Amino acid sequence: MRDLPTIGGNEAVNKWGFIAMHAALAAGFMFLLQRFVLSATQETSLLWALTFAVCAAGLAYKQANR
């Protein structure tokens, strides 16, 4: 995925898209895990999903800037 050619401003779009995708997938996974596998409440599941989304976005941001 990183070896795709980018032209001009598309590199910034690809970087932020990668970060957003990473955060969304982490949040979705954590919400489903908490809600349906661990039988947590909806509020707890959303809180964990938000926490993991922020952490995943931070990690993706650091990786995108390497």
Q: What is the pLDDT of residues 34-55, one digit of tens each?
A: 999 999 999 999 999 999 999 9
- Confirm whether 6 is domain-assigned: no
- Confirm whether 7 is domain-assigned: no
- Confirm whether 5 is domain-assigned: no
Question: What pLDDT does residue 2 have?
Answer: 60
Contact 25, 49 (CB under 8 A): no
Task: Tell me the average pLDDT across 29-35.
Answer: 96
Residue 6 identity: T
Residue in the structure block whose two tokens are 């039988």: 39
Residue in the structure block whose two tokens are 């489903």: 32
Count up the domains in the chain and report the number.
1
Contact 45, 35 (CB under 8 A): yes
- Confirm whether 57 is domain-assigned: yes
Answer with the residue of higher pLDDT: 10 or 47: 47
Number of residues written out for the chain: 66
Name the residue range of residue 42's domain. 24-64
Q: Is pLDDT at 11 greater than 90 in this prediction?
A: no
* pLDDT band at 8; cut points 50, 70, 90: low
Q: What percent of the chain has pLDDT above 70?
A: 85
- Confirm whether 16 is domain-assigned: no
- Confirm whether 35 is domain-assigned: yes
